[in-house]
Structure 1
């Protein structure tokens, strides 16, 4: 019984990972116009470019950290439930590696934005 539960949970991990990315993309596509429309209704003046770029950078860093945390969780679950299966262990290690890359990208994103701003004179 314990083994069946482990196999079931291990089988659900890739499905959860595959479902998370489209769900986040749909949320971004649906929420971005709503936020813009809300600002237009209130009669808010458009913000200057550095403020907009800073807000977008913070939002994208949050998204990257969220996705990296999801992959970190999936990687640890795969390793815990691998039960000695070399294929599952490899998949778990790959998910952990991808999570580390995601966290690194989230840490470097503000620096890359600053570099690009210096090139365009912002």
Structure 2
């Protein structure tokens, strides 16, 4: 029999402790693998380096991402509002919670629609050409 102290032996019998330990081991191995990539993998291939984007292109990309993220979050709040409303069963606090989530969704959609206008204002402040 092994000479593992009782409090350590109890930890190994826990399913979550074993699962956490295995996850930590796998994460450590992946990190070791990523850190052990040889420097020759970064050797010059003769291809030209990518140039950085200009400020108007960056602002346009930011606008597209911002609209997408705001629309996704607003849609999430809309779904949550629908679930709250459907499961309320006449409970006034649940109905109020659903209305609050619906208001948040509408604010999110409003911000998604106004994002191009807001970024146009930022362009004006920064002085970037249109």
Task: Give the TM interval when normalised to the shorter protein.
Answer: 0.5 to 0.7
Paired position in structure 1 for 2:126: 120
More helix by share: 1
Q: 1:91, CA displacement in angstroms?
A: 0.2
Paired position in structure 2 for 1:27: none
Give the alignment's TM-score, normalised by structure 2: 0.60
Paired position in structure 2 for 1:74: 80
Return the structure number with greater relative CO, CA threshold 8 A, min gap 6: 1
Aligned equivalents of 2:108 and 2:117: distance in 1? 15
Distance 1:91 1:112, change over 3 A: same
Mark the runs of 5 or more structure 1 residues left unpaired by the alignment: 1-40
Aligned equivalents of 1:65 and 1:42: distance in 2? 37
Q: 1:119, CA displacement in angstroms?
A: 2.4
Aligned equivalents of 1:109 and 1:116: distance in 2? 10
Paired position in structure 1 for 2:106: 100
Give the alignment's TM-score, normalised by structure 1: 0.64
The runs of at least 4 consecutive aligned structure 1 residues that moved more than 4 Å come to: none
The total of aligned residue pairs comes to: 82
- For the aligned residue pairs, the C-alpha RMSD in angstroms reads 1.5
SS in 2 for 1:44: coil
Paired position in structure 2 for 1:12: none
Larger CA Rg, structure 1 vs 2:
2
